[in-house]
Amino acid sequence: MPFSLRSPSSPSVTSPPHLLALLTRVRRRGRPLCTAFSHLPAPSYPTTGFPANFCQVSDAAESSGDVVGRICRLVCDSCEAGDWKLRRARIDARDLRAEQAATVFAMIADEEGSVAAMSFFHWAVSQKEFRHFLRLYITAASALLRRANFDKAQEVMRCMVTSFAEVGRLKQAVDMVFEMRNQGLRLNVHTANWILSVAAEMGATDFVEQLFGKMPTYGVSPDACSYRTTIVACCRAGRITSVEKLLKEMIDRGLTIDNVTCTVVIDALSEANRSGTVICAFEKMIDLGLHPNVINYSSLINCLCKRGSVKQAFQALEQMTRRGLKPNVFIHTTLIDGLCKIGWTERAFRLFLKLVRSDNYKPNVFTYTAMIGGYCKEDKMNRAEMLLGRMREQGLAPNASTYTTLINGYCKAGDLARSYELMGQMTAEGCPPNICTYNAVLNCLFRKGREGDAYRLLHTCFRYGPLPDRATFTVLISELCKQGDTSRALDFFHLMEKFGCQPDMHTYTTLISSFCRQRRMEDGERFLHEALKLGLVPKKQTFTSMISGYCRDGKVDLAMEIFEKMAINGCVADSVTYGALISGLCKESKLEEAQALYRAMVDRGLCPCEVTRVTLAYELCMKDEISGALAILDMLDGKLWVRTANILVRKLSSEGKLAQAAFFFHKLLDKDHDLDYITYAGFVNACYDDSKYSVASALTERISSKIRNSASEVTNEVL
């Protein structure tokens, strides 16, 4: 049923009938509202026996009309005195009912004008008693529309959207904004953008996209602000496809984008692992008229370095300097960190030395930490220690991140003694170890098999140190899953939730893999669905574990369904994934499907592992499809062909498939001059065991002939 608005001056909205008569008299006489209400009797109280501030009048002491009239006088007097915010009006919200507040606005708007009425409106919506009263906003907007004050009516609608969004009633407020079009208040772009902004702040991305798409149907053309707000909302929600579409639309319409939105887009692409499109998006934004600043380039370079595209990061740096922008220490630190991550530590050190010698920039704590991290990755702990000393000489105090980087390096090198020593230094210098420090040491202790020490350290962490984080629990869960103790791993998983640590996809994948290894596929499925409900994106390892588990249980159809879901979720299958599925298909004797999958794998440039190659070729041989097995081998290069054929001959010989083994042995002799004596011995022994002396003799004769021919060729060359 459509919403219908009633006039605020109608008897159903205002209170007693004598107020209507009063308004009529005022309209006729044209008197200001403050004087028009002056003849209403003011309540009087004895001056003795009551506290001095006893001037608040309740509804029981005054009639409804008296209350409304008194509030109207207070508002008008304050406005005439220049107190537009009603700070000195001494209005008590408890004196008014919500309906009376709406009446006060209507009366003031009709008699004193919009400015005084809006003063009361802003006071009213700041009070919790009226802030979420829908009729106040409708009455206010209607009264302003009667005075043709469309701008203020739009302001009222925007206030309503903000207020109702606070209590989860955004949709109700927006529906009312659209309903007000029937009263003559058309939606404008400013109000539409306001709604988009409020919805975006609430994280209601679906609502934002829906409203943005419907704006033209409401007669509103989205402007640059509309696009920016929607882009930011989509970025926060990781909807990169929508972001790219919106950027293209902005280019087509010739709209501009600001620097803040540019940074948000770059960061969102980076977070969504869409760094491959970041350069393209950045260039699109420049096409939109963006003049990138240092912060924009910092985000771009950081994003490129994170994905290992350091060369492109340096190209962005050159572009930046050509535009007359000077890189700061943060950019240099990002580049040093990027170089270290791809193993170019010496190049990073040369850039570091440039900073040291520069008059404009000097390395800070983060720069030193990045450089120390590079040396720790290469196990050059002496150089890392040298930088730590140099850092102190420069008057820079190592922070928790610096120490943790060093400790992590020593833990990887297995030097727990130095790690504990550095932890002691941290505490002595007033920089207590953080949870990342504990995680590094815990990892090392578990790797060395010192579980007792690891749990004692964990106990210390729980009792005295920092609270464990997601990484701590993931380390524990991973270790327990390796031991096959899934029950205790689940205990830590549930404890993790009690500590307020939200498990990530790595945690779920660890448990799912463990379930699949133990053939507990139902538990694996349950945890996968739980992860998807949380909005987590499964990784390649997650899908591969599920595929292997289903294939192990002989449920190849379910494995194929998971394989198809990989592509939908943007996961690219690797040779391990293909291998697991091909093995499963071979077990089910679905050799045509296995061969098709094998060919698809090779076409994608993936190299099948040895197990996959041999398994498929062997199963084809067992079905007497030797041509198919030969086709599998012919897809390989020389060395892999020879190695796979040797293994296949041994396997076929051990299974008594001597005809097939002999076929591939002769193919081997055709291709390879170097005889594999293990393969030869295995084949000949199998022939003797099966009384196939003629087969063994024929092969031996060919080998002997080949040896004689080779010797003759060598003799001729010598002569």
* SS3 assignment, position 572: coil
Distances (CA, A) of 557 to 89, 111, 540, 588: 76, 77, 19, 10
| pLDDT at residue 377 greater than cutoff 80 | yes
Of the listed ranges 54-68, 254-268, 601-615, the least confidently predicted one is: 54-68
> Residue 64: what pLDDT?
62
List all residues 6 or more positions away from 686 whose beta carbon is below 8 Å from its beta carbon. 653, 654, 656, 658, 661, 692
Q: What is the pLDDT of residues 341-365, one digit of tens each?
A: 988 999 999 999 988 888 777 899 9
Residue with token string 């420090």: 437
| pLDDT at residue 540 greater than cutoff 80 | yes
Distances (CA, A) of 40 to 43, 65, 86, 116: 9, 9, 21, 20
pLDDT band for position 376 (50/70/90)? very high
Q: What does the domain layout of the chain look like in residue ranges?
A: 1-44+56-147, 574-636, 640-719
Contact 467, 435 (CB under 8 A): yes
Residue 469, amino acid? D
Look up the pTM and report it. 0.61
Tell which residue, 242, 245, 313, 237, has the closest CA to residue 284.
245
Mean pLDDT of all residues in the chain? 81
Contact 205, 238 (CB under 8 A): no
Structure tokens at 461: 């962490």
Tell me what the mean pLDDT of segment 123-135 comes to.
89
Residue 653 CA to residue 655 CA, distance in Å, equals 5
Q: What is the pLDDT of residues 148-160, one digit of tens each?
A: 899 999 999 999 9
> Residue 695: what pLDDT?
80
Tell me what the mean pLDDT of segment 295-309 comes to.
87
Contact 499, 467 (CB under 8 A): yes
pLDDT: which is higher, 161 or 8: 161
Q: Long-range contacts of range 656-662, CB-CB < 8 Å, 24 or more positions apart?
A: 656/686, 656/690, 657/621, 657/622, 658/683, 658/686, 658/687, 658/690, 658/692, 658/695, 660/621, 660/624, 660/626, 660/629, 661/686, 662/695, 662/698, 662/699
Contact 1, 79 (CB under 8 A): no
| pLDDT at residue 116 greater than cutoff 50 | yes
End-to-end CA distance of the chain: 110
pLDDT: which is higher, 388 or 82: 388
Contact 482, 449 (CB under 8 A): no
Q: What is the pLDDT of residues 163-191, one digit of tens each?
A: 999 998 998 999 999 888 888 888 899 99
| pLDDT at residue 714 greater than cutoff 60 | no
| pLDDT at residue 48 greater than cutoff 60 | no
Query: Each residue of 517-543: b (16+ CB within 10 Å) or e?
Result: beebbebbbebbeebeeeebebebbbb
> Residue 314: what pLDDT?
92
Distances (CA, A) of 292 to 196, 224, 300, 637: 25, 17, 10, 50
Residue 589, amino acid? S
Contact 178, 2 (CB under 8 A): no
Q: What's the distance, CA 699 to chain centroid?
A: 63
Helix (H) or strand (E) holding 592: helix 591-603
Contact 539, 559 (CB under 8 A): no
Contact 371, 349 (CB under 8 A): yes
> Residue 365: what pLDDT?
94
